[in-house]
Amino acid sequence: MTKGSSPIMAQMRKIYRHTRANSFGTRSRYESSCRNFIRFLDEKFKIKSLRNLQDKHVVAYIQHRQIEGIAPKTLKNDLGAIRYMHDMIPNVKHELSDNKGLKNEFSIVLDKTPAVKGNRAWTEREYNDMQQFARERAEDDGRGTQTAADVRDVMQLARTMGLRVTEAVAMSRSQVEQALRSGVYQVKNEAKNGKWRQVPLSAQGRQVMESRIQDVPRGDRLFIRPGEKTHAAVNRVEKFLQNNRGQFETVEGQETRMYEGVANALTYHGLRYNYVQDRVQQEMEKGYSKLQAAEIVTKEVGHERVEVIDVYLGGIKI
């Protein structure tokens, strides 16, 4: 083994030293691609034998390269090199998926990365003014006070925990009890595509939960009225925002959310943009790289691919 090289780097070099398939130039390019891949495996997974190579290793590497902005054509070349090397390994334990399999099983898209269609985040003034409006409406004795209170709290959960509107509205007492004990909120079947995930409990989220749970019987949900369907409750809080948001949009916010000449409106989904932007910044301030921060926050918002974080960053530089 070459001094300083890992076991799998030595194995890779041996493969390319003995193979005679393809032209010299192709073998040289493939070996260069595989060398980068092996370095990534050494740092991220520390596997000892290339016989153990499997899809999860390839997926992690492609996601890593995508967030670095590597072109799809280069990624496809990298995959060709990795599969070529894998074909040369005797007695492999796992088959590697083709590009179609990577797309179907792991949502790896090689044609293009997700389009960044502007920044949909709210400004602090917009958020605070809308919160104040909802609080005041919730405290008066007029029509819609309960919905106003729901909007006030759902906004806080979206803004400080990155929850989708349906995930917040469908929150159950049992989920809240667990979160208040553990400091981690478990999103369950109400998640998009039913994908469970864990989210750190924010201080604001704790306040909402502690306040709400006092009036919620066991087995019930925090925002859904007796006899009300989840979709009806979601529609109720969305309509409140849609009917009132126009008076709180600022010129600064409209300019920030401008995409192809049209400003994105204020939505609960836009508050997830705020959450992601804040969380990525917080993790980077701890000393993590943008990629490392994206890997952490990606799990919190329920996505598989770290490059999706660039969509939520909306083109802003962090």
pLDDT-based confidence at 73, cuts 50/70/90?
A: confident
- Residue 115 confidence (pLDDT): 61
pLDDT tens by residue, 119-176: 999 999 999 999 999 999 999 877 789 999 999 999 999 999 999 999 999 999 999 9
**Parallel, antiparallel or unpaired: strands 258-259 and 262-263:** antiparallel
User: Residues 8-62: pLDDT tens digits?
Assistant: 999 999 998 887 766 677 778 899 999 999 999 999 998 999 999 999 999 999 9
pLDDT digits (tens, 9 = 90+) for 212-265: 999 999 999 999 999 999 999 999 999 999 999 999 999 999 999 998 899 999
Question: Between residues 270 and 191, which one has the greater pLDDT?
Answer: 270
Q: How far apart are the C-alpha atoms of 311 and 116, rounded to whole Å?
A: 5
CA distance 247 to 132: 13
DSSP bridge pairs for 259: 262
User: 102 with 62: CB under 8 angstroms?
Assistant: yes
Domains of the chain, first to last: 7-106 (1.10.150), 124-310 (1.10.443.10)
Mean pLDDT value across the chain? 91
CA atoms within 13 A on the CB side of 266: 29
* N-to-C CA span, the chain: 41
Distance CA(314)–CA(295), nearest Å, equals: 17
pTM summary value: 0.65
